Structure 1
Amino acid sequence: MARADTLARARELDRPDLAYLVRFPAAGGIRETDLTWAEIARDTAWIADRLRGHGLAAGQRAVLTASGFEGFWCHAMIGALRGLRVTYGIAEAMGWDHRRTSVFHRELRPHAVIGLSAETLEGLSGATDIGEMFRPTSVVLARPDAVPMLHAVGVPGCVLSPLGPALAVECPERSGAHVSAAEWRVGERDGQLSVAAGEGRASPLSETPLGIAGRVVTGRCACGSDDPRVLFGEANQLS
């Protein structure tokens, strides 16, 4: 059977609604929730809007650093980059793969680096000046523990972070990392963040304390979004 025939036949097959079983750390231990293909499609569209806000467009290039267990948001991020027609390279977010990040950054000359971790920066800092490396990069989206390291060397990085099964992405206003209000409810209690599934999510998730320090900001952001924003810990508060 020709490849075209095989793909055509595959499109006719039933596909289960469930795409992932997401396991994430919470204050009370590991929790689980389902993720459907329809939810991935909505997450992809939301992430694409966030990336457009950072100026990503067709013909640009990006480096994405993520780990295999983060497929629940990485899949949507890749879909968003493809939809925007942004060429990308992927490296592991663990420190041992920092050389791949360096190679992609050198060869692709990316407009954006997405998902930088403190471990990656620590690995890179042993071989290069991370300030000189990332200051020319137009968009740097980094994990909360990596952002202070970038700011210390003059790189105006924005926050990108998993928030339980959700994803928080800071806009160029740098006034907190947005979380999709249509999909998730984020809250705080005693300085600790929580997350719950929105009404449209297929798998119910009651309010779940995450054991992550931070606070939630509501109201319209200067970027025009009404999504809630998360400020992670005192190190990442507005200055």
Structure 2
Amino acid sequence: MTRSDTLARARGLDRPQTAYLVRFPAADGTIVETDLTWAELARDTAWVTERLRGHGLTAGHQALVTASGFEGPWIRPVIDALRSLAVPYAIAEAMGWDHGRTAVFHRELRPHAIIGLSAETLEGLSGTADLREMFRDTPVLLARPAAVRLLRGVGVTASAICFLGPALAFECPERQGAHVNAAEWRVGARDGELFVAAGEGRAATGLAETPLGIRGTVLNGPCACGSADPRVVFS
């Protein structure tokens, strides 16, 4: 049997609805589990695609994604969105020990966008590179909140990307808070601490309001980018 025959047979098999089992810590340290279905993954990808279009990404650009393997439920929609936009991408580990690969990809590919940059990567790079010189000409920097603070501290403009429990928060070029897909999730803050719960699109998950132990506030007014999604501002 040839490889093409095998793939054809595989496409005819029933596929379970679950794409990923998402595990995340709640504020009290307990691990919460919820399913991510293929249909939900497709909707997440469509939402992220629009967010990346808002940053100006288009065919012909190149991107670098820094992520860890266990972050698949949040990063897979980003990768699928890049594919749908015909944006080639490279991947480096988000842990500090792999900062050298980020440096090589940045030097050789000169990516239009870097997505998922971590504070650990920046700390590794800071021993061998001038962060301001390295990143100041990268058109799109989507970094994790701690990395955003480090970059802004050296005068580099960056937008935030963050995992809020099972949800993905994604800052637009206005940089007035990271958007969360209101069709899928309900986010808010109580006593300065963020929580997440299933929205209408995720009702089947049954995720009740879950404090995350992340400090921040939520803005519910319309954003200048045109999105009506709520925006998370990290403390």
State the TM-score, normalizing by the size of structure 2. 0.97
Pair 1:11 & 2:6 matched: no
- Deviation per residue, 1:36-87 (Å, 9 max, x gap): 0110000001001000000000111000001111110111111001111111
> Per the alignment, in what secondary structure is the counterpart of residue 52 of structure 1?
helix
Structure 1: distance between partners of 2:6 and 2:83 = 23
- Deviation per residue, 1:120-170 (Å, 9 max, x gap): 000000000011110010000000011111012221100000011000000
Paired position in structure 2 for 1:223: 225
Pair 1:203 & 2:169 matched: no
- How far does residue 5 in structure 1 lie from its aligned partner after superposition? 2.1
When the two chains are superposed, the root-mean-square deviation of aligned CA atoms in Å is: 0.8
Amino acid at match of 1:130: L
Paired position in structure 2 for 1:135: 136
> Per the alignment, in what secondary structure is the counterpart of residue 127 of structure 1?
coil
4+ residue segments displaced more than 4 Å = none
Structure 2: distance between partners of 1:156 and 1:126 = 21
Give the length in aligned residue pairs: 233
Extract unaligned runs of 5+ from structure 2.
none
Structure 2: distance between partners of 1:33 and 1:101 = 31
Structure 2: distance between partners of 1:53 and 1:160 = 14
Percentage of pairs with the same residue: 72
For residue 213 of structure 1, the aligned residue among 204, 212, 215 is 215
Pair 1:114 & 2:115 matched: yes
Structure 1: distance between partners of 2:83 and 2:117 = 20
Extract unaligned runs of 5+ from structure 1.
234-239
Amino acid at match of 1:116: L
> Per the alignment, in what secondary structure is the counterpart of residue 75 of structure 2?
helix
> Per the alignment, in what secondary structure is the counterpart of residue 141 of structure 2?
strand
State the TM-score, normalizing by the size of structure 1. 0.96
Structure 2: distance between partners of 1:86 and 1:27 = 36
- How far does residue 3 in structure 1 lie from its aligned partner after superposition? 2.2
Paired position in structure 1 for 2:234: 232
- How far does residue 7 in structure 1 lie from its aligned partner after superposition? 1.7
- Deviation per residue, 1:173-193 (Å, 9 max, x gap): 011000000000001100000
> Per the alignment, in what secondary structure is the counterpart of residue 136 of structure 1?
coil
